[in-house]
């Protein structure tokens, strides 16, 4: 029995040694195979956008390529305009040009409505420099209405239209006394309103004519007298050309016809129409002389007054030159 156990034990030990001896060559072959495969594999490449720490710390910002510093998405295309570039100015259209012309004429009209001779007599309908932007229809009406409500014309109606007319017994059909006086005042003011609204607003708007007087201001006295006299029958059109002043002439006769409604009954008729229309037209030639020369006369008078004024500021003595100082 012991012999059998000893034999079995020796056989088991021999079998274990045989298996161990068989495994060792196999492990050696596997290790050699793994080592050969590891040597055959290529090394992993370094990332292209990685920058060594040493070179980053030692190089200046200018050494970094532009493509690496600026992301592709932030790079603007070459054809894109610069952010600060100024776009070309838009060409004004017909509407803009018309609005600019209206604004310019409105500024000129506001200045003309402040014009007065000697600070009293209205000079609203005068273009002092002889050049002006055409007025719109609404502006012509505004200018005419501004004249009709001016205090000067109310005073003229009371002093000249009422007082002087009664003194010389003009329009005797009105009678004497307060009743006749106020009738004359009303007739004088009505004549002024009719002439302004018809001759300076309604007809100029319909006929596209300028109701203002364009002062010449320069040239010979004779030429200026002639231009001023012709202003009652010649005017500027809205197109800038000289035209027959239909607005003024026709407006005077229309106003004369309307005056038949409030003048004394013994004066009414075609004769009154022709008389009033012709009278106002002829007086317009004299009014042109006042528009043309009154500013010059006022300037001369005030200039002489300033020269003869003993309180005027004396002229300063000339400052000596270096050469004159050295001679002393």
Cα separation, 295 vs 315, in Å, equals 27
The predicted model scores a pTM of: 0.62
DSSP state of 126: E
Residue 63, CA distances (Å) to 46, 68, 69 in order:
21, 10, 10
Cα separation, 75 vs 282, in Å, equals 81
Would you state the structure tokens that stand for residue 298, as one six-digit string? Answer: 């006022």
Q: Count Cβ neighbours within 10 Å for each residue of 184-214 and write b for 16 or more, e otherwise.
A: bbebbbbbbbbbbbbbbbbbbbebebbbbbb
- What's the pLDDT at 325? 42
Angle at 224 between CA 218 and CA 230, to 5 degrees: 140
Q: What is the pLDDT of residues 247-302, one digit of tens each?
A: 999 999 999 999 999 999 888 999 999 999 999 999 999 999 999 999 999 999 88
Burial class (CB in 10 A: 0-12, 13-18, 19+), 5: exposed
Q: What is the pLDDT of residues 7-26, one digit of tens each?
A: 445 555 454 444 444 445 55
Other Cβ atoms less than 10 A from the Cβ of 263: the count is: 21
> Which ranges constitute the DSSP H helices of 113-163?
137-148, 151-156
Q: Choose among 171, 164, 166: nearest CA to 266.
A: 171
Spatial contact of 285 and 231, defined as CB atoms under 8 Å apart = yes
- What's the pLDDT at 31? 55
Output 17-22 pairs: Cβ under 8 A, ≥24 positions apart: none
Cα separation, 247 vs 195, in Å, equals 10
Q: Choose among 282, 284, 155, 278: nearest CA to 211.
A: 284
Residues of the chain with pLDDT under 70: 1-94, 304-328
Would you state the structure tokens that stand for residue 10, as one six-digit string? Answer: 């020796």
Other Cβ atoms less than 10 A from the Cβ of 115: the count is: 15
- What's the pLDDT at 62? 46
DSSP state of 182: H
Number of residues that this document lists for the chain: 328
């Amino acid at each position: 029995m012991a012999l059998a156990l000893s034999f079995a034990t020796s056989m088991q030990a021999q079998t274990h040694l045989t298996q161990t001896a068989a495994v060792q060559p196999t492990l050696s072959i596997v290790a050699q195979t793994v080592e050969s495969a590891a040597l055959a594999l290529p090394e992993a490449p370094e990332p292209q956008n990685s920058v060594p720490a040493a070179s980053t710390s030692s190089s200046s910002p200018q050494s970094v390529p532009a493509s690496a510093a600026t992301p592709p998405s932030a790079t603007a295309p070459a054809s894109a305009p610069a952010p600060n570039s100024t776009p070309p100015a838009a060409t004004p259209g017909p509407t803009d040009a018309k609005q600019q012309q209206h604004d310019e004429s409105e500024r000129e009209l506001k200045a003309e409505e402040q014009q007065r001779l000697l600070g009293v007599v209205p000079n609203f309908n005068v273009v002092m420099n002889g050049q002006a932007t055409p007025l719109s229809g609404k502006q012509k009406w505004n200018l005419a209405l501004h004249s009709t409500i001016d205090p000067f014309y109310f005073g003229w109606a009371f002093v000249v239209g009422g007082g002087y007319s009664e003194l010389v017994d003009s329009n005797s059909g009105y009678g004497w006394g307060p009743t006749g006086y106020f009738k004359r005042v009303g007739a004088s003011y009505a004549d002024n309103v009719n002439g302004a609204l018809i001759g300076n607003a309604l007809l100029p708007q319909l006929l596209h004519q300028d109701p203002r007087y364009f002062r010449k201001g320069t040239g010979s006295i004779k030429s200026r007298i002639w231009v001023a006299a012709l202003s009652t029958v010649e005017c500027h059109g809205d197109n800038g050309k000289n035209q027959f002043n239909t607005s003024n002439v026709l407006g005077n006769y229309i106003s004369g016809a309307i005056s038949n409604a409030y003048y004394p009954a013994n004066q009414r008729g075609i004769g009154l129409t022709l008389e009033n229309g012709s009278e106002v037209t002829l007086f317009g030639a004299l009014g042109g002389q006042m528009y043309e020369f009154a500013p010059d006369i006022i300037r001369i008078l005030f200039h002489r007054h300033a020269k003869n004024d003993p309180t005027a500021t004396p002229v300063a003595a000339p400052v000596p030159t270096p050469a004159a100082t050295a001679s002393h």
